[in-house]
C-alpha cells in the first residue's frame, strides 16, 4: 500500500512564492508514489479575523492554485477542512490531552500573538492541536511542510504517542517531509524573515497572482548587502535567498547557479531571479484563471474530496471515541 501524505494551506491570504516553492511544487512531485490528501484549512484561517467574502474567494482560489501547480485531482484528494466535521471533534478531544506549556512553547504562537496585544484569540493558542487532529485523522505517514511548521508536526507526534500509550495503538506517527532547498523562502525586504502571506508589508512578498511589472519591481528593489559578491553565505541573507529561488525554479544546484553568476553585480542576480520567477508564474497564473472560470469543476473536485476524506476520518474518530469511553 502507498504511504499516506497529509498537508494543508490556510486560505488566510493570497498564496506566495514561499508557499509555491516550499509546499505546492513539492506536492506535485509526490503524487505518483504516495496517497496524498490535501486540505484548504479554513478552520485554521479563522484563528485571526477574516473578511467573509475574501475568505470565501481565497478558499476556492487556493484550490485552483493547488491544481494549477500540477497537483492532479485524479491522483490527490483535495477537500475543504470545514466540510469534514471530524476535524473539529478530534481537535477538542486532543485539546483535553494537551498541556498549556507545550502550546506556549510554539514559536509561531509567540510570533503571531505579539500582534494582538491583550486580545489574543484562544484559537491562535490551541491551533497546533487542530493541526495535529488534521494529520492524525488520516493516519498520515508523511507531512510535507516548510520548516516553519515542523514544530507543529513534532507536537503532533507527541500527542499521538501520548494517546497511544494511554489507550492503545490508535494513531500512526507522522514524519515531516521537507525538501532540501524549498524549506524556507525569505521576505525580499527582510531576508531574515519568512516570506508570508500575512505579512504587514507586501513589498518583499511575491504573490502568485502578482502582475509581471509588480514582480519585476519587487525583485529589483529586494534587499542585498554592501559586500558586492555573488556567493552563498549566511552573511548575505538577501543574496542567498535569491540564489535559492533561482536554483529551485531552474532545478539546478546552488553551486551551478553561483558559478554561472559569479563576478557579476547584483543587477545580474536580480535579473536572473526575475526571469526565473516570471517563467514559472506566468503559465501558473494563466491556469489559475482558467480554473476559477469553471466553478462547477472546482465544486466537483472538493465535493468528491470531502466524501473520501470523511470516510477515512470517521473510522479514526470512531476508534478514538470508543477508546475514551464515549457511547457510540
Ligand atoms: P501555511 O498556510 O502558513 O503555509 C502553507 C505551507 O507553505 C509553507 N510555507 C513556506 N515554505 C517556505 N518558505 C516560506 N516562506 C513559506 N511560507 C509558508 C508552510 O510551511 C506550509 O507547508 N498550519 C499550517 C497549515 C496546516 C497544516 C495542517 C499543514 C493546517 N493543518 C496539517 C500540514 C498538515 C499553516 O499555517 O501553513
* pTM for the model: 0.91
The pLDDT of residue 101 is 97
CA of 215 to the centre of ligand 1 (A): 22
| Residue range 4-182+295-324 in CATH 3.40.50.1370 | no
**Which residues, in sequence order, are CB contacts of 309 under 8 Å at separation 6+?**
37, 39, 77, 79, 83, 84, 138
Residue whose cell numbers read 511589472: 213
Among the four given CATH numbers 2.40.37.10, 1.10.10.10, 1.10.3720.10, 1.10.240.10, the one describing domain 212-289: 1.10.240.10
CA of 136 to the centre of ligand 1 (A): 17
Considering only CA atoms, which of 82, 109, 75 is closest in space to residue 5? 75
Q: Residue ranges per domain, the chain?
A: 4-182+295-324, 212-289
Q: How many CA atoms lie within 13 A of 252 on its CB side?
A: 15
The pLDDT of residue 154 is 97
| Ligand 1, atom 34: closest residue by C-alpha | 7
pLDDT beneath 70, residues of the chain? 179-183
Three-state DSSP class for residue 211: coil
CA of 219 to the centre of ligand 1 (A): 23
The pLDDT of residue 38 is 97
CA of 309 to the centre of ligand 1 (A): 20
pLDDT single digits (tens) 124-154:
999 999 999 999 999 999 998 888 899 999 9
The pLDDT of residue 29 is 87
DSSP line for 181-233: TTT--B-SSSTTSB--TT-S--TT--BTT--HHHHHHHHHT----SS------
CA torsion angle 6 78 61 120 (round to 10):
-40
The pLDDT of residue 244 is 95
Q: 9 in ligand 1 pocket by Cβ < 6 Å?
A: yes
- Going from the C-alpha of 321 to that of each of 63, 83, 99, 170, the distances in angstroms are 31, 20, 20, 11
Handedness of CA 249, 251, 254, 259 (dihedral sign): negative
The Cα–Cα gap between 55 and 50 comes to 6
Q: 208 in ligand 1 pocket by Cβ < 6 Å?
A: no
| Ligand 1, atom 11: closest residue by C-alpha | 22
Amino acid at each position: 500500500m502507498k504511504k499516506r501524505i497529509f498537508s494543508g494551506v490556510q486560505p488566510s491570504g493570497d498564496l506566495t512564492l514561499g508557499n509555491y516553492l516550499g509546499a505546492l511544487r513539492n506536492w506535485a512531485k509526490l503524487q505518483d508514489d504516495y496517497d496524498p490528501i490535501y486540505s484548504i484549512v479554513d478552520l485554521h484561517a479563522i484563528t485571526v479575523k477574516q473578511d467573509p467574502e475574501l475568505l470565501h474567494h481565497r478558499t476556492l482560489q487556493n484550490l485552483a492554485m493547488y491544481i494549477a501547480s500540477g497537483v492532479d485531482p485524479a491522483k490527490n484528494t483535495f477537500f475543504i477542512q470545514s466540510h469534514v466535521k471530524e476535524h473539529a471533534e478530534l481537535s477538542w478531544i486532543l485539546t483535553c490531552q494537551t498541556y498549556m506549556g507545550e502550546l506556549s512553547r510554539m514559536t509561531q504562537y509567540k510570533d503571531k500573538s505579539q500582534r494582538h496585544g491583550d486580545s489574543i484569540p484562544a484559537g491562535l493558542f490551541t491551533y497546533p492541536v487542530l493541526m495535529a487532529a488534521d494529520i492524525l485523522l488520516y493516519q498520515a505517514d508523511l507531512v510535507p511542510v516548510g520548516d516553519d511548521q515542523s514544530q507543529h508536526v513534532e507536537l503532533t507526534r507527541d500527542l499521538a504517542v501520548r494517546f497511544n500509550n494511554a489507550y492503545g495503538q490508535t494513531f500512526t506517527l507522522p514524519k515531516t517531509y521537507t525538501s532540501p532547498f524549498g524549506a524556507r523562502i525569505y521576505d525580499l525586504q527582510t531576508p531574515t524573515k519568512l516570506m508570508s502571506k500575512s505579512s504587514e508589508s507586501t513589498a518583499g512578498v511575491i504573490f502568485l497572482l502578482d502582475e509581471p511589472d509588480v514582480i519585476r519591481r519587487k525583485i529589483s528593489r529586494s534587499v542585498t548587502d554592501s559586500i558586492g559578491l555573488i556567493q552563498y553565505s549566511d552573511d548575505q541573507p538577501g543574496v542567498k535567498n535569491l540564489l535559492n529561488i533561482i536554483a529551485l525554479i531552474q532545478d539546478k544546484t546552488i553551486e551551478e547557479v553561483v558559478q554561472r553568476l559569479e563576478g557579476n553585480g547584483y543587477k545580474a542576480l536580480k535579473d536572473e531571479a526575475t526571469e526565473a520567477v516570471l517563467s514559472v508564474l506566468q503559465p501558473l497564473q494563466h491556469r489559475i484563471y482558467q480554473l476559477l472560470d469553471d466553478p462547477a469543476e472546482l465544486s466537483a473536485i472538493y465535493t468528491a474530496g470531502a466524501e473520501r476524506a470523511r470516510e477515512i476520518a470517521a473510522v479514526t474518530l470512531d476508534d478514538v471515541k470508543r477508546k475514551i469511553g464515549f457511547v457510540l
